[in-house]
Amino acid sequence: MEFVKSFRWALPVFLLLCSLALFNNGVEASHKVFRHLQSLSAVNFKKQHRTGYHFQPTKRWINVQSKGAVWGNIVWAHSVSKDLINWKKVEHAIYPSKPFDKYGCWSGSATVLPGNKPVILYTGIVDDKQTQVQNYAVPANVSDPYLRVWIKPDNNPLIVADNEVNKTAFRDPTTAWLGKDGQWRTTIGGRSYDRGMSFLYKSKDFMHWTKVKHPLHSTDGTGNWECPDFFPVQVNGKNGLDASATGPNLKYVFKVSLDVTRYEYYTIGTYDTEKDKYIPDKDMVDGWNGLRLDYGNFYASKSFFDPSKNRRILWVGQMNLIPLIMISKRAGLVSSLSRAQWFLIPTANNCCNGLLRN
């Protein structure tokens, strides 16, 4: 009799668990086992706190400190690779040396101009009040396959905040994109009081920039925006796209790092090229209640387009580093990881198409 009572109680629970496992609101999970790798021994397992795969500095933080395990003294360290796995360290690409970046060379992005000419836009700190301007740098020798040496011309800075912009929250220019009107555009993160801002600038020659009257995008109550990222993706397809790509069946991803939460969020939407405005889709939530780019310790990422393989490469800028500060003194903190990620876009038939980010 006791068995029957227990069985009657357990049966509905069992059926409920089975239904959750089978249906789970249409969400499927997968687990792939690589048995041929299970018998292999670990590589460099005796090197405590060192990775065996992802890029990692010899010591200290990446792009945040070259003299210790605390924030400051920001430079652009430089390593090169043919496969994103094996890396060779070369000289620093950009470091504080001129009045327009005397107090730090902060984040930015690279753009390849016509004629295969790379140029870096980056944020320079000009004083101890953290006044921020946007500078550029070009390679000293474009025929050098490693692009070891970079020059910061004396006509910097290219972009200076006007009186409507908070000069201490004005940083991280994106890769520029070329509009149908032949003008380059870049967006820069910041805030206006408690409103997150993605300021938009235009230029005909990449040297003289004009601030557009309205931001590319902004959201009230989200605080300072850092490391914005803005790029097109295919509605159907796995290949990445150049930032300047246009055409039908495109959506746009707008990613931002929220200073107040230290996490990254994104929306998917459309880009009105006539009004120069990004418009999130109706079902998107802007801000810290929206979609996270990653649900781990993940911050200040940046992506770029790789034309050789038609893919978009995503780099993690920082993970949650505070518990690891002491480790960094001897091991070096991992804060640049390449990874694959899918953005799912609902279509007319309620299916989802994958947008691959490698």
Give tens-digit pLDDT for 16-55: 444 444 444 333 434 466 677 666 665 545 566 666 667 7
As to burial, measured by CB atoms within 10 angstroms (0-12 exposed, 13-18 middle, 19+ buried), residue 101 is buried
Identify the band that residue 342 occupies on the pLDDT scale cut at 50, 70 and 90: low
Tokens 């495109």 map to which residue? 250
Length of the chain measured in residues: 358
Which pLDDT score is estimated for 152?
A: 98
Which pLDDT score is estimated for 352?
A: 39
Give tens-digit pLDDT for 144-193: 999 999 999 999 999 999 999 999 999 999 999 999 999 999 999 999 99
Instruction: Please check whether residue 271 is in contact with residue 278, taking contact to mean a CB–CB distance below 8 angstroms.
Output: yes
Tell me which DSSP letter residue 174 carries: P
User: Residue 157, preceding bond cis, omega within 30 degrees?
Assistant: yes
Which pLDDT score is estimated for 73?
A: 76
SS3 323: helix
Tell me which DSSP letter residue 16 carries: H
Which pLDDT score is estimated for 338?
A: 52
The helix (H) or strand (E) run that includes residue 202 is strand 195-203
Distance CA 37, CA 84 (A): 21
What is the mean pLDDT of the segment spanning 138-144?
A: 96
Distance CA 253, CA 294 (A): 14
Closest residue by Cα to residue 336 from 110, 106, 74, 56? 56
Closest residue by Cα to residue 172 from 244, 88, 245, 264? 264
Distance CA 258, CA 81 (A): 30
Distance CA 180, CA 114 (A): 15
Q: What is the mean pLDDT of the chain?
A: 81
What is the mean pLDDT of the segment spanning 217-237?
A: 95
Question: At residue 3, what are phi and psi to the nearest 5 degrees?
Answer: -65, -40
Lowest mean pLDDT among 188-197, 230-239, 250-259, 316-325: 316-325
Identify the band that residue 317 occupies on the pLDDT scale cut at 50, 70 and 90: low
pTM greater than the 0.75 cutoff: yes
What is the mean pLDDT of the segment spanning 200-213?
A: 98
